[in-house]
Amino acid sequence: MSAETRDPQSLLSHYEYLIEISQQLTSTLDLTELLRKITAGAEQLTDTEASSIMLYDSQVGALRFEVTSNLNPDQTESIIIPIEGSIAGWIFQHGEPRVIEDVTTEPSYFGQVADTVDLQTRNLLGVPMRAHDKVIGVLEALNKRDGQKFNEQDIRTLTTLASQAAIAIENARLFQQSDFIAEMVHELRTPLVALKASTSLLLRPDLPEDKREDTILTMRAETERLIRMTSEFLDLARLESGRAHLNVAPFELDKLIDECVEIVKHQAASKDVTIDMGDLDFLLKGDRAKVKQVLLNLLTNAIKYNREGGTITVTAQSSNDYDTTYTEIAVADTGLGISPEHQKNMFQKFFRVADAEGYAHGTGLGLAIARHIIEAHSGRIWLESEQGVGSTFYITLPCA
């Protein structure tokens, strides 16, 4: 029922609902959760079948789907909505709401969306999402229920919801950034302090020649660590803020693993670690480069935390989760293992096992990045481990 035809009582509960959602939005700092609440609220308030949020991506200069209430992210993730020649682009540019009674007669309707997703859009109401005088995206409510038309009341409520939502999104982004920056700066201090100590040492005229060379090697190692850390920080920041997008396409697992093994083989050889492979003849669907990053992380960890002369075994098998077929990939090592109390923290950013500190250098970000990447593919990542025996890391990825 649209708000104009509501009786006063139901109109009141309509506004109460709007206030309730707004309150919920301001208290949610988790971006994914926030986006879900916004779309649920938009549908409820406008009495529509679906709703979607498109946010402006300054890197590509276009809008991107952040969430669509009834669609799989797989279907919408890769769609870029141009500013010129799309309804959402018009709303974004003009900062004004728009009602499209029949999308089939609308020349600026961006057909690629309809071609890609299952939902047939009939009509829509789109409003700008404005935070602090800046439009950051567009909120759309799609397909008014029971053959109704969008009315003034719908436009007003959706506009109010969209501005509350925009501010909440900006807050969540800022919160994530500040939290992350504090941790990052803290982590950067260790290599920086080491570099400073090294330079002071080098300035001493009485430093023996062999010490001088050791110091320079330390400086090189610490500089490399800083470079690795900064690129991992950037990766994780992008993943956490939902700004990293997947380029999904089919790829062959065996070829990918071969490439990864080629990259790590010298590192493995230096520790006399053998890499064995099972049948890896699987066709997967995902962002190949990002999956490669995950597999490289698991393999380098399996080398770093293995024993001298140890083994790594990479295997894969099909598994079913509800009605989707996944490929489950396992990377098993014969290393020092992980205690049960540490296992649960393994995928937290900056987490490193204290005993393993002396074992190998690292940032403690690799597995956190891996989790984000795998979950963005609707997959899972977990581990099984026995101390003194070894660990096995598992990931699941959708099949092509």
Give contact residues for ligand ADP (rule: CB under 6 A): 297, 301-302, 305, 333, 335-336, 338, 346, 351-353, 356, 362-368, 391
- Whether residue 343 contacts residue 385, with contact meaning beta carbons closer than 8 Å, is answered with yes
User: Residue 17: how many CB atoms within 10 A of its CB?
Assistant: 14
Contacts of 193 (CB under 8 A, 6+ apart): none
Measured distance CA(89)–CA(82) in Å, rounded? 6
Q: How far is the CB of 356 from ligand ADP (least distance, A)?
A: 4
**What is the C-alpha separation between 101 and 58, in angstroms, rounded?**
30
CB of 285 to ligand ADP, least distance (A): 25
CA distance linking residue 217 with residue 211, whole number of Å: 10
Q: Taking Cα atoms as reference points, which of 375, 270, 370 lies closest to residue 362? A: 370
Asked if 204 and 215 touch (Cβ cutoff 8 Å), the reply is: no
Give whichever of 121 and 301 is closer to ligand ADP, judged by the CB atom: 301
Report the sign of the C-alpha dihedral through residues 115, 119, 123, 128, in that order: negative
Instruction: Tell me the residue ranges of DSSP E strands in 240-295.
Output: 249-252, 274-277, 283-286
The amino acid occupying position 250 is: P
Residue 186 CA, distance from chain mean position: 23
Instruction: Give every CB contact of residue 5 below 8 A, 6+ residues apart in sequence.
Output: none
Query: Cβ neighbours of residue 216 under 8 Å, at least 6 residues apart?
Result: 198, 202
Cβ atoms of 393 and 380 closer than 8 Å: no
Q: Evaluate whether 114 touches 81 at the Cβ level (below 8 Å).
A: no
Nearer to ligand ADP, 124 or 296 (CB): 296
Residue 146 C-beta: closest distance to ligand ADP, Å: 51
User: Going by C-beta distance under 8 Å and a sequence separation of 6 or more, which residues neighbour residue 103?
Assistant: 87, 109, 114, 121, 122, 123, 124
Q: Return the residue nearest ligand ADP (CB atom).
A: 362
- Measure the N-to-C terminal CA separation of the chain; round to a whole number of Å: 42
Residue pointed to by tokens 């789907």? 65
The CA distance from 61 to 170, in Å, is 18
3-state helix, strand, coil in the chain (%, to 5): 50, 20, 30
Query: Residue 196 Cβ, how far from ligand ADP at the closest point, in Å?
Result: 23
159 or 306: CB nearest ligand ADP: 306
- Tokens linked to 4: 């104009």
